[in-house]
Amino acid sequence: MRDLGNFLSSAWDNYLDTTPQAMQIVRRFGEQGEKIINDHIALRTLSHASCGIETLSAQFEAMGLTRALASKDEYHFSEKKLRATYFHHPTDSSIPKIFVSELLFKQLPGPVQETCEFMLSKLPRSIQVMDFTQNWRPWDIHKAQYHRLAKFSEYAAWVYALGFRVNHFTVSVNHLKKATSVELVNKWIKEWGFSLNEEGGAIKGTPLQGLVQSSTLADRMTLHFKEGQETVPTCYFEFAQRFELGGRLYQGFIPSSADKIFESTKR
Ligand code: NI
């Protein structure tokens, strides 16, 4: 539990550091008397023994979290070539769920496979969950490779440029007192001058599916490529409201909604 607490607080601090809009949005919510409880956080990685879901799974389970889905029920994003699962605390619902996706890069074209193999060859050891709080990227980045990757997979380009870090945190709308729907949250976010991801409509999911979500467009950050600086999309803030399905608050995710939310880091 102490390890889990360390991980979550380091991840949150790192995320606020690298996502200035999230820092500002949290402050704005605070001015309205709202306290932020996170519904989930999301990590992106590559499908490989050194850094994939299975490696992280063992570590999250050692921290007291439960893997929510049997492998047959895992989420698959066939177009983006992603697979995902999530971890949750068995008793404490105020602890954010951890959603982990991995890129099935072997199903993508040769150039993507080559660059992913290059990234993996630079890992000096297996990944530790704390690496996601340190922006771990033990490889140099090149502009040509970044842009070539992005043509095939925005997700691959994101991991290549930014390394292992938290992709987003998600405000639990169920825990807000005044902004009691995603619609109201979106209204505030726009009034505060931030942009929402409108891909597939600003609101993803329906109460009947158990989960309604929206997200901002990713912040941008200037990175040092070998050839010089370039500004790229980084991380975004998400908002989620859960509804009862069959008498229980739904705790899962909706792949078709998540698919559109992945577009929040589109260049
Ligand atoms: Ni999310």
Mean pLDDT of all residues belonging to the chain: 94
The pLDDT confidence band at residue 264, using thresholds 50, 70 and 90, is: confident
Position 148 confidence tier, pLDDT thresholds 50, 70, 90: very high
Q: How far apart are the CA of 259 and the centre of ligand 1, in A?
A: 10
- CA 165–ligand 1 middle distance (angstroms): 14
Q: What is the pLDDT of residue 34?
A: 97
Supply the pLDDT for residue 265: 79
* Ligand 1 geometric centre to CA of 85 (Å): 12
Find the mean pLDDT for residues 209-214. 95
Per-residue pLDDT at 1: 63
Question: pTM here?
Answer: 0.94
Distance 42 CA to ligand 1 centre (A): 6
Q: How confident is the model at residue 139 (pLDDT cuts 50, 70, 90)?
A: very high
Average pLDDT for 46-62: 97
75-129 confidence digits (pLDDT tens):
998 889 999 999 999 999 889 999 999 999 999 999 999 999 999 999 999 999 9
Interval between CA 120 and ligand 1 midpoint (Å): 25
User: 189 CA to middle of ligand 1, Å?
Assistant: 17
Whole-number Å distance, alpha carbon 110 to ligand 1 midpoint, is 29
State in Å: Cα 173 to ligand 1 middle. Answer: 13
Q: How confident is the model at residue 47 (pLDDT cuts 50, 70, 90)?
A: very high
Cα(266) to ligand 1 centroid in Å equals 15
**Which amino acid does the sequence have at 24?**
Q
